[in-house]
Every structure is written in structure tokens, then in C-alpha cells.
A and B are shown apart, each in its own frame.
Chain A
Amino acid sequence: DGGITQSPKYLFRKEGQNVTLSCEQNLNHDAMYWYRQDPGQGLRLIYYSQIVNDFQKGDIAEGYSVSREKKESFPLTVTSAQKNPTAFYLCASSDYSGEAFFGQGTRLTVV
């Protein structure tokens, strides 16, 4: 079954803790993306990667970090520096034909 898998579906974090969201794809796509989805604000780009071992900041990268050691994987770490981390996080991938494919998302709640 090809596609993008995000895990976990729900995640709870205590204030001051870092947490890592997983994103894996078996579509052989070069490009991968992380978005944050908040009510009324649509999808905002956090980080993107066009190729292994390379990634760029999006519009709201502060308080987040990523790595791209493998083509299939693009994990996102929400650090304690992120002031308002409670949100829905979406991972996506694309090839250069233009369509983006999305995971089911991870809902992060800070408790």
C-alpha cells in the first residue's frame, strides 16, 4: 500500500519537552514537506526538503527542526522553543509532476 504514513495520530507533550513526529513515504518522492494546520489559518509551511541531506525553512520554522537522512523519512521535532505547539501537523511529499500527497496528520497537544 503506497503512500505517506504519519505517526502517531495523537501526541501529548508536557511543556518544556521536545517531541518528534514521524513521516515516512514509499512513493519514491524527492520532495517532502511539513505543514502546520490551525483553524482559520490554513496550511502553513514549516520546513521542506527537495532532496536527501538538504532542507530549507518555510514561513514558520522557529521552534522546529527536521532531518532528511533517508529519502523515505522526514521527521519533525517540535522543540521547547516553540511557543504555541498545540496544532495539527501534516506531512506531504511530491515528485516534480506537481501533485502533493498528504499523510493523515498528527494532532499534538501540550498538556
Chain B
Amino acid sequence: AQRVTQPEKLLSVFKGAPVELKCNYSYSGSPELFWYVQYSRQRLQLLLRHISRESIKGFTADLNKGETSFHLKKPFAQEEDSAMYYCALRNTGNQFYFGTGTSLTVIP
């Protein structure tokens, strides 16, 4: 079975401060991890995936297989980063499993 855990339902940071959204997973196989974001009144969309190892909108995430984590980080938060963030795992059967989400608020 697979499971994705996001321990923080709500997270508030000040503009310019670093932000880290935590994600842990459990899966017996080799997972593919993603971060999806939902801005207000917009559909859920991909932010980044671990295999691409790229920075999107200043966000990065590193897959740590030893700690089974895929935390999302950004060194300087911006107001436009306020959104709902979901960590997701894709298994070898091409099914996507999502965490419960973290609502990020960046305070001006």
C-alpha cells in the first residue's frame, strides 16, 4: 500500500521568509513524487516532480529515500505563493495518491 503524509494543514510565513512544506511517503516500490498546487479559483496543477530536479517559481524539492521524504522548499516566500499544496505519489500502476494538503499563507 502507499501513503502520503503532509503533517501541516495550515502554514503561515511572512513575505521574504523561507518556507518548507513537509511531505513523507510510504511505498514498497520505487515511487515517483510530485508537488501539485491549487491557487484560489484555479484548477489543481503540477508544480514540480522529483525526476526533473528543476526549480519552478523558486521552489525545489529533493527526494530523500532514506527518510522517505519529499519536502518542498523556497528560500524567500512571495505573496503569490499563497495556495493549497498537495504532495502526490505515482505508483508503478500509474495511480496517483495525494496527501491531505497544506494551505500556505504568505503574510505581507
Q: Which A positions have Cβ atoms within 8 angstroms of B?
A: 31, 33, 35, 40-45, 48, 50, 58, 90, 92, 94, 96, 98-100, 102-105
Contacts and interface: CB of A to CB of B under 8 A. Distances in A.
B94 A99 contact: no
B46 to A, nearest CB: 5
The 8 closest A-B pairs by CB, nearest first: A42-B100, A43-B98, A102-B44, A42-B98, A102-B43, A42-B101, A99-B46, A104-B43
14 contacts: A33-B95, A33-B96, A41-B100, A43-B86, A43-B98, A45-B96, A94-B94, A96-B94, A98-B49, A99-B49, A100-B34, A100-B88, A100-B96, A102-B43
A74 B34 CA distance: 24
A26 to B, nearest CB: 15
A35 B9 contact: no
A-side binding surface: helix, strand, loop or mixed? strand
Interface in B76-104: 86, 88, 90, 93-101
Interface residues of B, number: 23
B5 to A, nearest CB: 10
Given A43-B86, A98-B49, A99-B49, A50 B43 contact: no
A45 B98 CA distance: 9
A43 to B, nearest CB: 4
Interface of B: 6, 9, 32, 34, 36, 43-46, 49, 51, 86, 88, 90, 93-101
Contacts of B100: 40-42
A98 B96 CA distance: 9
A103 B93 CA distance: 22
A83 to B, nearest CB: 21
Contact of A58 (B43, B45, B95): B95
Contact of B96 (A50, A94, A104): A94
Contacts of A98: 32, 34, 49, 51, 90
A48 to B, nearest CB: 6
